[in-house]
């Protein structure tokens, strides 16, 4: 991968402009801009705690979900349902963790992860089936399934998975042995982060070096030519891409619940699955570039939280910044997007 200088500058420009516009908004709303900026920077990168327990902790779900979106988009499947697949994965991992820990002990963790991936894949599989059988556009079905998933979680935490006292709409806490290990004492960074990094490398290798990854890319770049010249079964490829994308999003959900929250509750995802679309697009759908854009979004989220906590500026400004970044990325010409994917067979 060779980031080209012009594209790097264009993307940096977009991010800078977005932040500048948000800064203007913060100032115009009557907040102390320098105080807010200081709080945000300190909260995102100001200390080891900020980096490890705030920024990188958030980077993990952004990275995994960004990869999930990229896998589908690369194959020409517009999976807008990472959010729902994330929730399905989290709920399945939680259920397994609650019921299997007494029996399986340490091995539960593996089963939780597996259950999360299977649940995410199945949730995406519903959309894949609807597409295959009834030609339902996946943009619509995956989006709508997000709301179904949110409601299923709402039901689970008031019904089968509710904590025993019945006082709160949430599950019991996972046992410590059923959680992802923390990487550093006293920090909240968990094993999900290295898993996400490995996943990024694996996805990059998959697209770069495997025949199946090549089929994904060809199907996404030119469906008709892929079918006619490549004799690729493009319908099957797109189904596989959607299901794989769901499995990755489910993995993200499982990691979030076993690594961060330890309980299932309704607001588990503050829209991670939607932000992931921005993450993937800023990264030009390239797995390694998505590592960079996920980190940026992780820092943005951490900074926004700190800004709200310490300077009283609503974190919603960060949402605006994220949205501006996406609009900015769409506005720059294709050839100048960040870290334009350079696959083998390209200079």
Partner 1 sequence: MTAGGVALDLRGIHKRFGDTIALDGASLSVASGTLHALLGENGAGKTTLLDVAAGLTRPDGGALTINAQPVRGHTPADARSAGLSAVHQHFSLVPAMTVAENVALSSPGLFRTFSASDAAERVRAIATAAGFRIDPSALVANLPVAAQQRVEIIKALASDPAVLMLDEPTAALSPSEAADLFVWLRAFVDRGRTVVFITHRIREAMQNADVVTVLRSGRTVMTSAVRDTDESSVLTAILGEAPIRLHGTPTRNLGSAAAMTPVLVLRNSTVIDAGGVTRLSPLSLAVHAGEVLGVAGIDGGAQHALLRVLAGRRRPDSGTAELPTTIGFVPEDRLHDSIIAELSLVENLALRGAGKRHGRIRWSDLTNATRQAIRGFGVQARDEYAPASSLSGGNQQKFVLARELADSPAAFVAENPTRGLDVRAASDVLERIRSARDRGAAVVVYSSDLDELLSIADRIVVCFGSSVHETPLDAAVIGRAMVGAR
Q: Are 240 and 74 in contact (CB under 8 A)?
A: no
Site membership for partner 1, residue 135 (CB under 8 A): no
Site membership for partner 1, residue 47 (CB under 8 A): no
> Which token pair is 307?
């800004």
Interface with partner 1 (CB under 8 A), residue from 225, 309, 316, 330? 225
Kindly state the smallest distance separating residue 232's Cβ from partner 1, in Å. Answer: 4
**Toward partner 1, which CB reaches closer, 251 or 289?**
289
Residues 161-200 that bind partner 1 (CB under 8 A): none
Kindly state the smallest distance separating residue 60's Cβ from partner 1, in Å. Answer: 29
Site membership for partner 1, residue 201 (CB under 8 A): no
Site membership for partner 1, residue 218 (CB under 8 A): yes
Helix (H, G, I), strand (E, B) or coil at 182: strand
Which residues have C-beta within 8 Å of that of residue 100, sequence separation ≥ 6?
Answer: 108, 111, 112, 178
Which residues have C-beta within 8 Å of that of residue 290, sequence separation ≥ 6?
Answer: 63, 66, 67, 70, 200, 279, 280, 283
Site membership for partner 1, residue 232 (CB under 8 A): yes
What is the total count of residues that contact partner 1 (CB under 8 A)?
22
Kindly state the smallest distance separating residue 114's Cβ from partner 1, in Å. Answer: 25
- Give the helix/strand (H/E) hosting 141: helix 138-156
Report d(CA 90, CA 176) in Å as an integer. Answer: 17
Site membership for partner 1, residue 214 (CB under 8 A): yes
Interface with partner 1 (CB under 8 A), residue from 58, 74, 131, 215? 215
> Which token pair is 92?
């399945």
Number of neighbouring beta carbons within 10 Å of residue 47 = 12
Site membership for partner 1, residue 230 (CB under 8 A): yes
Binding site for partner 1 (CB under 8 A): 209-211, 214-215, 218, 221-222, 224-226, 228-233, 343-347
């Amino acid at each position: 991968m060779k980031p080209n200088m012009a594209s790097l500058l264009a993307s940096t420009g977009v991010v800078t402009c977005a932040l500048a516009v948000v800064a203007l908004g913060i100032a115009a709303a009557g907040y102390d801009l320098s105080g807010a900026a200081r709080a945000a920077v300190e909260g995102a990168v100001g200390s080891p705690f900020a980096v490890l327990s705030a920024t990188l902790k958030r980077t993990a779900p952004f990275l995994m979900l960004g990869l999930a979106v990229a896998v589908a988009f690369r194959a020409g499947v517009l999976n807008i349902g990472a959010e729902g697949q994330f929730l399905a994965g989290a709920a399945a991992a939680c259920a397994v963790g609650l019921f299997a820990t007494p029996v399986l002990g340490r091995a539960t963790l593996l089963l939780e992860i597996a259950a999360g991936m299977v649940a995410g894949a199945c949730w995406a599989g519903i959309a894949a089936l609807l597409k295959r059988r009834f030609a339902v556009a996946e943009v619509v079905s995956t989006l709508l399934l997000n709301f179904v998933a949110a409601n299923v979680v709402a039901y689970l935490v008031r019904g089968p998975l509710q904590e025993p006292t019945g006082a709160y709409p949430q599950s019991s806490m996972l046992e410590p042995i059923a959680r992802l290990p923390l990487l550093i004492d006293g920090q909240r960074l968990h094993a999900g982060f290295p898993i996400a990094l490995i996943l990024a490398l694996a996805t990059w290798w998959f697209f770069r070096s495997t025949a199946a990854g090549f089929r994904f890319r060809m199907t996404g770049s030119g469906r008709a030519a892929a079918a006619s010249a490549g004799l690729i079964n493009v319908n099957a490829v797109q189904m596989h891409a959607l299901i794989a994308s769901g499995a990755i999003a489910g993995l993200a959900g499982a990691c979030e619940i076993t690594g961060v929250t330890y309980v299932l509750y309704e607001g588990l995802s503050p829209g991670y699955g939607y932000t992931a679309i921005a993450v993937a697009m800023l990264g030009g759908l390239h797995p390694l570039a998505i590592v960079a854009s996920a980190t940026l979004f992780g820092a943005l989220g951490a900074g926004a939280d700190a800004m709200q906590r310490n300077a009283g500026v609503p974190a919603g400004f960060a949402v605006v910044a994220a949205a501006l970044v996406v609009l900015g990325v769409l506005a720059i010409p294709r050839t100048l997007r960040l870290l334009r994917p350079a696959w083998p067979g390209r200079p």
